[in-house]
Amino acid sequence: MIRWYPHVYPYAAVGLGSALGSLLRYLVSMSSLAAFGPLFPWGTLFVNVVGSWLIAWLATVGSRYTQGRLARWQPFLVAGFCGGFTTFSLFSLETLYLVSIGSPWLAMTYAIFSLPLWLVAAWHGQKMARERG
Protein backbone atom coordinates (compact mmCIF):
# COMPACT_ATOMS: atom_id res chain seq x y z
CA MET A 1 0.00 0.00 0.00
CA ILE A 2 1.30 3.46 -0.94
CA ARG A 3 1.41 5.90 1.94
CA TRP A 4 0.38 9.16 0.28
CA TYR A 5 -1.28 10.70 3.31
CA PRO A 6 1.78 12.51 4.74
CA HIS A 7 2.43 14.11 1.35
CA VAL A 8 -1.15 15.24 0.82
CA TYR A 9 -1.88 16.46 4.35
CA PRO A 10 -0.23 19.91 4.10
CA TYR A 11 -2.03 20.69 0.85
CA ALA A 12 -5.39 19.53 2.16
CA ALA A 13 -4.83 21.43 5.41
CA VAL A 14 -4.00 24.65 3.56
CA GLY A 15 -7.02 24.22 1.28
CA LEU A 16 -9.44 23.57 4.14
CA GLY A 17 -7.98 26.37 6.27
CA SER A 18 -8.17 28.77 3.36
CA ALA A 19 -11.79 27.87 2.68
CA LEU A 20 -12.75 28.45 6.32
CA GLY A 21 -10.76 31.69 6.54
CA SER A 22 -12.35 33.00 3.35
CA LEU A 23 -15.81 32.07 4.55
CA LEU A 24 -15.24 33.88 7.84
CA ARG A 25 -13.88 36.94 6.01
CA TYR A 26 -17.02 37.00 3.87
CA LEU A 27 -19.28 36.69 6.92
CA VAL A 28 -17.45 39.49 8.72
CA SER A 29 -17.65 41.72 5.63
CA MET A 30 -21.35 41.10 5.12
CA SER A 31 -22.11 41.62 8.82
CA SER A 32 -20.12 44.84 8.83
CA LEU A 33 -21.88 46.05 5.71
CA ALA A 34 -25.27 45.34 7.28
CA ALA A 35 -24.32 46.99 10.57
CA PHE A 36 -22.41 50.06 9.37
CA GLY A 37 -23.35 50.54 5.73
CA PRO A 38 -21.16 50.82 2.64
CA LEU A 39 -19.48 54.17 3.38
CA PHE A 40 -16.24 52.62 4.72
CA PRO A 41 -14.93 49.01 4.47
CA TRP A 42 -14.94 48.33 8.24
CA GLY A 43 -15.06 44.56 7.74
CA THR A 44 -11.92 44.54 5.61
CA LEU A 45 -10.11 46.77 8.06
CA PHE A 46 -11.12 44.44 10.90
CA VAL A 47 -10.00 41.22 9.19
CA ASN A 48 -6.70 42.80 8.13
CA VAL A 49 -5.91 43.92 11.69
CA VAL A 50 -7.07 40.68 13.33
CA GLY A 51 -5.43 38.53 10.66
CA SER A 52 -2.13 40.40 10.97
CA TRP A 53 -2.15 39.91 14.75
CA LEU A 54 -3.12 36.26 14.47
CA ILE A 55 -0.54 35.27 11.84
CA ALA A 56 2.27 36.97 13.77
CA TRP A 57 1.19 35.29 17.02
CA LEU A 58 0.91 31.86 15.39
CA ALA A 59 4.26 32.16 13.60
CA THR A 60 6.02 33.32 16.77
CA VAL A 61 4.57 30.61 18.97
CA GLY A 62 5.09 28.05 16.21
CA SER A 63 8.77 28.95 15.93
CA ARG A 64 9.22 28.12 19.62
CA TYR A 65 7.55 24.74 19.36
CA THR A 66 8.71 23.09 16.15
CA GLN A 67 7.41 19.69 17.25
CA GLY A 68 4.00 18.74 18.54
CA ARG A 69 0.42 19.66 17.90
CA LEU A 70 0.88 23.34 17.03
CA ALA A 71 3.62 22.55 14.52
CA ARG A 72 1.34 20.08 12.76
CA TRP A 73 -1.42 22.70 12.61
CA GLN A 74 0.80 25.39 11.04
CA PRO A 75 -0.19 24.69 7.40
CA PHE A 76 -3.88 24.83 8.33
CA LEU A 77 -3.61 27.88 10.61
CA VAL A 78 -0.94 30.11 9.04
CA ALA A 79 -0.96 29.51 5.28
CA GLY A 80 -4.54 28.25 5.17
CA PHE A 81 -6.78 30.04 7.64
CA CYS A 82 -4.86 33.32 7.93
CA GLY A 83 -4.12 33.32 4.21
CA GLY A 84 -7.79 32.84 3.43
CA PHE A 85 -8.95 35.26 6.11
CA THR A 86 -6.62 37.96 4.81
CA THR A 87 -3.59 37.99 2.54
CA PHE A 88 -2.57 41.22 4.18
CA SER A 89 -1.57 39.21 7.24
CA LEU A 90 1.21 37.52 5.28
CA PHE A 91 2.44 40.90 4.04
CA SER A 92 2.61 42.06 7.67
CA LEU A 93 4.50 38.95 8.73
CA GLU A 94 6.96 39.22 5.85
CA THR A 95 7.63 42.87 6.66
CA LEU A 96 8.29 42.01 10.31
CA TYR A 97 10.58 39.20 9.19
CA LEU A 98 12.68 41.61 7.14
CA VAL A 99 13.02 43.84 10.22
CA SER A 100 13.90 40.87 12.44
CA ILE A 101 16.75 39.74 10.16
CA GLY A 102 18.29 43.19 10.30
CA SER A 103 16.91 44.65 7.08
CA PRO A 104 14.70 47.54 8.25
CA TRP A 105 15.34 49.54 5.09
CA LEU A 106 14.30 46.62 2.93
CA ALA A 107 11.20 46.18 5.09
CA MET A 108 10.35 49.87 4.74
CA THR A 109 10.92 49.74 0.98
CA TYR A 110 8.68 46.68 0.73
CA ALA A 111 5.96 48.37 2.77
CA ILE A 112 6.16 51.72 0.96
CA PHE A 113 6.09 50.29 -2.55
CA SER A 114 3.60 47.46 -2.01
CA LEU A 115 0.38 49.45 -1.65
CA PRO A 116 0.95 51.65 -4.71
CA LEU A 117 1.92 48.61 -6.78
CA TRP A 118 -1.21 46.75 -5.63
CA LEU A 119 -3.38 49.72 -6.50
CA VAL A 120 -1.77 50.19 -9.92
CA ALA A 121 -2.15 46.47 -10.65
CA ALA A 122 -5.82 46.54 -9.61
CA TRP A 123 -6.43 49.69 -11.67
CA HIS A 124 -4.72 48.12 -14.69
CA GLY A 125 -6.68 44.89 -14.34
CA GLN A 126 -9.93 46.83 -14.13
CA LYS A 127 -8.95 48.98 -17.13
CA MET A 128 -8.06 45.92 -19.22
CA ALA A 129 -11.32 44.22 -18.33
CA ARG A 130 -13.36 47.31 -19.23
CA GLU A 131 -11.57 47.70 -22.57
CA ARG A 132 -12.30 44.13 -23.56
CA GLY A 133 -15.81 44.15 -22.12
Rounded to 10 degrees, the C-alpha dihedral 19/24/25/29 comes to: 140
**Amino acid 98: pLDDT:** 93
Q: Report whether 47 contacts 111 (CB < 8 A).
A: no
Q: What is the mean pLDDT of the chain?
A: 88
Cα 70 to Cα 76: distance, rounded to the nearest angstrom: 10
- Collect the ranges in the chain with pLDDT lower than 50: 1
Q: Where are the domains of the chain?
A: 5-86
Task: Write out the H or E segment, with its range, that includes residue 87.
Answer: none
**Amino acid 5: pLDDT:** 62
Cα 82 to Cα 79: distance, rounded to the nearest angstrom: 6
Q: pLDDT (tens digit, 9 = 90+) per residue, 70-101? A: 788 889 999 999 999 987 877 888 899 999 99
Cα 50 to Cα 56: distance, rounded to the nearest angstrom: 10
